[in-house]
Structure 1
Amino acid sequence: MSGLRPASLHSSPAVYTPVPISTLPLYRRLLFPSLPQTTQPPPIFNHGSPELSIATYELLAVILRSHVSPWYTRLTRDKTFIPEVTSAIAHGLREVERRTLAADLPLLVYTTLPALLAQHYTDYRAAQLRHALSPSTSVAECFHALQPHIALTPESTVVNPEYLRQAVEFVLKACMSKEDWEAETDRTIVREVLVGPVLGGVLPRLAQPWFLFAMMLGVLGRGKGSKASAKSMSKAPVTSMRQMLVLLIGALHALTSALHSVVTLMQSISRFLASLPTRKQYSSQSRYYASNLLMLVAIVLDLPSRLVSDLLLSYTSIIVALLQPLLDRILSHVLYAYILTSVNISTIVIRANTILFPNGVPAPPTIEPPHEQQVLTRQLLEARLVDSLPSALSSIIIGPTTEARSRTAHDILQPLSDAGCNVHLIMRLLDAILLSLFPELAADSPAIPAPSAPLGSLPEEAKVDSDSESNKEGFATPLSH
C-alpha cells in the first residue's frame, strides 16, 4: 500500500503516512470527506464483494458530482449533504439486494422475460400484416394498438417522465428508511436523478435499432468467415491396398477417439449432476424453463414456417419435456452460480460507468450514425448470425440456401428495427423486473422475507408467487405463465 512506509533494520516500526487528498479516489473525496484514510468505507451490499461496492461507489460519485454538486455548491459550502444522500442511496440498494435475493429470479429470467420477447416478435409480425393491409397506418401505430402502454404514445420513443417518477417514488418509499424518506430534499434529488439522467437517458437509447445492432455485433465479435475450406477439399482416390489400410487404421483411431470423448463427456455430466444442490431446494413442480427458452428460439427463428425445422422443433420439444425436471435444476444452478455473480455484476456496473460517464463526465448526446453506416452494421450482423451456426445446423434451422439463410437472418432482426416498437419492449421488461422485486405494485402480498443465501448461491424455494405479476393500475401487465 502506498501509504505504508517500509521498516528497516535500523528504523522504528512502520507508521502510516497520509497521502495527499488529491490522490485519493473520487468516491473517497466526495462521498466520505471526513472518513479517515485508514478506515474503509462501509460496504454497500451485505452479500456482495468489496469490488462491487467500490464500483458502485465510483458510479454514485460520478453521478452526484455531475448532477448534484454543480448547483448545490452554489447554494452552500456545506459538505455533509452529499454524504447524507450517499447514505440514503446505500440503504436503498441494500433493500434492493434483499428483495433480489428473495425474488424468484429463475421464473423471471427463464419464463417472464422470454415470454415478453416472444410476444414482441409475434405482435411485430402481426403489426406488419396490418400495415400491409392498411398502409396509411404505420407499423409502430399498429404495434401500439396490440401492446398499449400508459407511458408511451404511438411512433414516439419518449417515455412519460411522470410514469417513471411515480414508479421510482414507490421504489424509494419501499427501500428508504423512515428518516431518509421524510427528508424530502434528499428523496426528491435521488428521484429526479434516477428519472432524468439515468432512466430518461438510458431507455430511449436502448430502443434505437442501430444501438441494439451495434451491441449485438460487439457480443458476436469477429465473424468466422468462410468455413474451413481445407476440410472440404476432395481427397485423392484410393489406388492401392496400402492406402486402404491407412484409411482403415485412421477410421478405427477416429472411432476410438470418439468413444473416449463420449465417455469423458458422460463422466463430466455425472460429476456436474452430483454437484447440483439437492432436489428439495427446488420447486416440486416443473417450471418448464427449457421449454420456454426453446419456444422463444422457435418464434425468433420462425421455425414452424419451414417443414424440416418444424419437425426438428417437435422432436426437440419431446426430448426437452422428458428431461424437464433435470433441465430446471441445471438452469437454476447456472443462473445463480455462473450468471448472477458479484464478478459479473461488478463488470456491468463498471461498464455502465464507462458508457454513461466516459472520463468521469456525462457522455455527450448520442449522435445517430448516418443511414449508410446503420445499413452496413445490420448487414454485418446478419452475416455473423448466419456464420455463428455450424453448417449442418444452419442448413436445417435457417435454410438450405444462401438466399434462405440471409432472408431468415433479416427476419430475425426485423422486429428490432423500429424504435417506436422497441421502446414498448424495454418498458415491458422494466415493468416485469419491478413487479418481481416489488410484487406489492401489482397486488397485496406478504412482506418479502429475508434472504437465506448470498448472491452466487441457490436460495430456498421461491417466495414470490407468479400470480403476483398481475396488472396494477399504471403498470403494463407482464405475461402470466
Structure 2
Amino acid sequence: MAQGERPARHIRQPSRITTSAIATSSNDSKQRAVKPPSPRDAATILFIKRVLCSKPTESGPLTEDEISERPLEELLPPLTSSNEIDLQLYAIISVILSQFVQIWYRRITPDSDFVGEVVQIIAHCTRGLEERLRHVDLEVLLLDELPKLFCTHHDAVQIARDAGRARYTSSAESHVRSIYHALRPHNALSPPPVDEATSLVQDENEVDWSQLLVSGIMPLLLPPEDLSNPCLDVLVSEVFSEMIVHKAVLGKVSEPWLLWESVTKVVHIVRPRLLKESSFTPTSRLEQFGLLASADSTRHDDPGARTGTVNTATFAFWSSLQYALVVWTLLRAFVIAILHASSIQPRPKRVSRETEASDKTQIMADELADGPTKNAIAEERPIVSMRMWSCVERLTSLRHRMPWLTGSLSLLQWLSLHGPGQMCRTNGALDRLLSAQVHDRLLNPALLPPILHAIRVAVFPDNVLAPPRVQPTNAEVDEIKHECARRIVGAIPEPVRTYYFGTTEIEIMEKDVENKLDIFGDEYMNKHLIVAAVELIVVRLFPELATPMSTA
C-alpha cells in the first residue's frame, strides 16, 4: 500500500499523561511549545530529519530548508502523547533504520515510500500500545505481581541449590537446573540443558515460544490493511522474534555478568558520592613522608583530650540534642504527610479489557455467589500489603539476620491494616499518600525520556551500533561480581551496614553480598524469571492472549 493511499495523518491530541513538571496555565504551555531545543536535542532532531524526513510527504515534496525549518511534530506522525518521548523513540527508530534496513534495501530498489510506510506502521503500533497501557494498573504490576514472580524464583533457586549441594560431581550444575525446572516447568525452557543434545532441543523450543509470542501480538497491533501482506508479516515477525525476543531478551539479558553490571550502574547512578573511598590525604610534604605528626593524630594521642567528666557530659548533651532533632523532624514530616494525604484523590479503579459490557452481568453474578474475583482483589490491595516488601526481605535476608526487626515490621504492618483506625487500608490516608509518591517518583512519565536516551547512548553511541561485547572470561566475570558487591556495600551508610552485617570488616561484607548475588548466577534459571515476567506483562497489555498463553 503506497503512502499516498493511507488516511490523513493523525493530529496530535493534548497530552493525557500528567507530570509534575507540566503547568496548568496555557501561557506556560505555549512558552514550552516555542522553547528552542537544547543543543543535544537539536542534533538529535537534525539526525531524525535526515533519516526519516528526506522523502516526499503527502502534501508534496519538501526542500531541505523547509524540512529544517518545520518542527518535527509536523513532519512525522505522533508515536505517543508526549513530544519528549516521541523524540527519543524516533531517534532509536532512525538509528535502527539507517543501520539495519536502509543499507540493504537501497541496493534492492530506489523506493522512496518505504521509510514513510515503516514510520506509519510503527506510529500505529505505539499509539495502540499506549492506549492499552492506560488500562493496565502499573502500580499493582510493579509493586505486587512482578515482585511475586521474583519471590517465587528466589525460593525455587534456594531449594534447588540446597538440594544440589550434596552432589560434588561435575553434574551438580545440571542437577540444580533439573530441580529448578521441576519446580517451575515451562514449555519454552524444556528440557533442562544438561548436555549438548538437550541444549539444542531447548533452544528450538525457545525459538518456537518467541515466534508464538510475536505472532499473537502482531494482529493486535498492526494496522488491518498490513495484516494481509505476507512479506511484511514474515519480516516483522522474524525481526522481533529472533533478534529482539530470542537473542536480545532471552540471550543477552539472562547473562549473569550483564545483570551484575546493570546493578553496578544503577547503584552508581543512585548513590555516586558514597562510592568514593574516603582516605586521608596529608596537607604538607612533612606529614606525607611521616616526618611531622598531624594535628588530628596529636589530638588523639593526648590522653586528657577526650577524657573527663566535662567531655563526657558535652558529648552526651550534643548526642541527645541530635537525636531529639531527628525525632522532631520525623514527627513533623509524618504529621504534614498525614494532613496532605487528606487532599489526595483516591486511587483510581482500573477496569481491565476483560470486563467488557457483555461480561459485566456474569462477573457481578460470580461476585455475589463466590465473593470478589481475583482481579477485584488485586485492584483493591493496599500498598502496605503488596509483595514488594516480601521481595525486599528476601533480597536482604532480613528475616535471618534481624528476626526481631522483621517481627516488629510485621506487627506494624498488621496494626496499620487491621488495628485501630486502619491507617494503611485501601484508599486510606497513608495508602493514598504512598500511591501518590509511587506515581510521582516511580511512574512519572517525565522519567521515561532520560531512560530512553540512556539506552540509545549505551546501545547506539554516536548513532551507530556499538561493537559487540566480548564474552568475558571466568576471571572477568568474578571481577564483575566483586565490583558489583563492592559498589553495593559502598552505597550503604556505615552505621547501617555495621549493624546489618554485624562486623566492621569490609571484605566480609563484600563476600556476603557476593554470595547473595549468586541468585542471578545461572543463565538458565534467569531465563525462567525473564520468560515469566515477559508473559505477565504481555498478558496485562493483551488480555486476549491470556487463555492461549496459559495453556501453551
Q: TM-score, normalised by structure 1?
A: 0.77
Higher relative contact order, structure no. (Cα contacts within 8 Å, ≥ 6 residues apart) = 1
Stretch of structure 1 that moved more, 368-377 or 22-31: 22-31
Find the residue that maps to 2:466 and give its secondary structure: coil
Is the contact made by 1:291 and 1:321 (CA closer than 8 Å) also made in structure 2?
no
| Aligned with 2:482 (options 363, 370, 379) | 379
* Residue of structure 1 equivalent to 2:97: 64
* Residue of structure 1 equivalent to 2:524: 420
Task: Supply the RMSD in Å over aligned alpha carbons.
Answer: 3.3
For the structure 1 residues 74 and 247, does the alpha-carbon distance in structure 2 shift closer, same or farther, using more than 3 Å as the test? closer
* Residue of structure 2 equivalent to 1:122: 155
Find the residue that maps to 1:160 and give its secondary structure: helix
* Residue of structure 2 equivalent to 1:34: 56
Q: Distance in 1 between matches of 2:495 and 2:436?
A: 30
Q: Does residue 47 of the first structure (1) align with residue 81 of the second (2)? A: yes
Q: CA deviation at 1:367?
A: 0.8
Q: Does residue 293 of the first structure (1) align with residue 388 of the second (2)? A: yes
Q: Please list every run of 5 or more consecutive structure 1 residues that lacks an aligned counterpart in the other structure.
A: 1-21, 445-470, 475-481
Q: CA deviation at 1:382?
A: 1.8
Q: Distance in 2 between matches of 1:331 and 1:263?
A: 17
Stretch of structure 1 that moved more, 431-440 or 388-397: 388-397
Which residue type is aligned with residue 269 of structure 1? Answer: A
Find the residue that maps to 1:427 and give its secondary structure: helix
Q: TM-score, normalised by structure 2?
A: 0.68
Q: CA deviation at 1:316?
A: 0.6
Q: Does residue 218 of the first structure (1) align with residue 322 of the second (2)? A: no
For the structure 1 residues 237 and 26, does the alpha-carbon distance in structure 2 shift closer, same or farther, using more than 3 Å as the test? closer
| Aligned with 1:314 (options 407, 410, 413) | 407
Is the contact made by 1:110 and 1:289 (CA closer than 8 Å) also made in structure 2?
no
Q: CA deviation at 1:114?
A: 0.5
Q: Please list every run of 5 or more consecutive structure 2 residues that lacks an aligned counterpart in the other structure.
A: 1-42, 194-198, 281-295, 351-375, 417-423
Q: Distance in 1 between matches of 2:326 and 2:154?
A: 40
Q: CA deviation at 1:187?
A: 3.3
Is the contact made by 1:116 and 1:425 (CA closer than 8 Å) also made in structure 2?
yes
Q: CA deviation at 1:225?
A: 6.1
* Residue of structure 1 equivalent to 2:536: 432
* Residue of structure 2 equivalent to 1:336: 439
Q: CA deviation at 1:110?
A: 0.9
Matches within 5 A, 1:255-294: 257-258=325-326, 260-270=328-338, 272-274=340-342, 276-278=344-346, 285-288=380-383, 290-294=385-389
Q: CA deviation at 1:95?
A: 0.8
Which residue type is aligned with residue 551 of structure 2? Answer: E
Q: Distance in 2 between matches of 1:245 and 1:125?
A: 51
Is the contact made by 2:275 and 2:490 (CA closer than 8 Å) also made in structure 1?
yes
Q: Distance in 1 between matches of 2:232 and 2:96?
A: 14
For the structure 1 residues 330 and 302, does the alpha-carbon distance in structure 2 shift closer, same or farther, using more than 3 Å as the test? same
Is the contact made by 2:207 and 2:246 (CA closer than 8 Å) also made in structure 1?
yes
* CA deviation string 1:159-200 (max 9, x = no partner): 722321221122121112211222333333332222233333
Q: Distance in 2 between matches of 1:119 and 1:255?
A: 40
Matches within 5 A, 1:3-402: 25-32=46-53, 33-35=55-57, 36=62, 37=67, 38=70, 40-48=74-82, 50-134=83-167, 135=169, 136-137=171-172, 138=174, 139-153=176-190, 154-155=192-193, 160-203=206-249, 204-221=251-268, 223-224=274-275, 236-237=305-306, 239=308, 250=318, 253-254=321-322, 257-258=325-326, 260-270=328-338, 272-274=340-342, 276-278=344-346, 285-288=380-383, 290-306=385-401, 309-323=402-416, 324-325=424-425, 326=428, 328-400=431-503, 402=505
Q: Distance in 2 between matches of 1:193 and 1:360?
A: 20
Q: CA deviation at 1:208?
A: 0.9
Which residue type is aligned with residue 391 of structure 2? Answer: L
Q: Distance in 2 between matches of 1:140 and 1:99?
A: 36
* Residue of structure 2 equivalent to 1:449: none
Q: CA deviation at 1:413?
A: 0.4
Is the contact made by 2:144 and 2:386 (CA closer than 8 Å) also made in structure 1?
no
Which residue type is aligned with residue 64 of structure 1? Answer: L
Find the residue that maps to 2:536 and give its secondary structure: helix
Is the contact made by 2:177 and 2:524 (CA closer than 8 Å) also made in structure 1?
yes
Find the residue that maps to 2:188 and give its secondary structure: coil
Is the contact made by 1:120 and 1:415 (CA closer than 8 Å) also made in structure 2?
no
Q: CA deviation at 1:247?
A: 5.4
Q: CA deviation at 1:98?
A: 0.8
Q: CA deviation at 1:60?
A: 1.2
* CA deviation string 1:93-122 (max 9, x = no partner): 111111111112112111111111111111
Find the residue that maps to 1:472 and give its secondary structure: helix
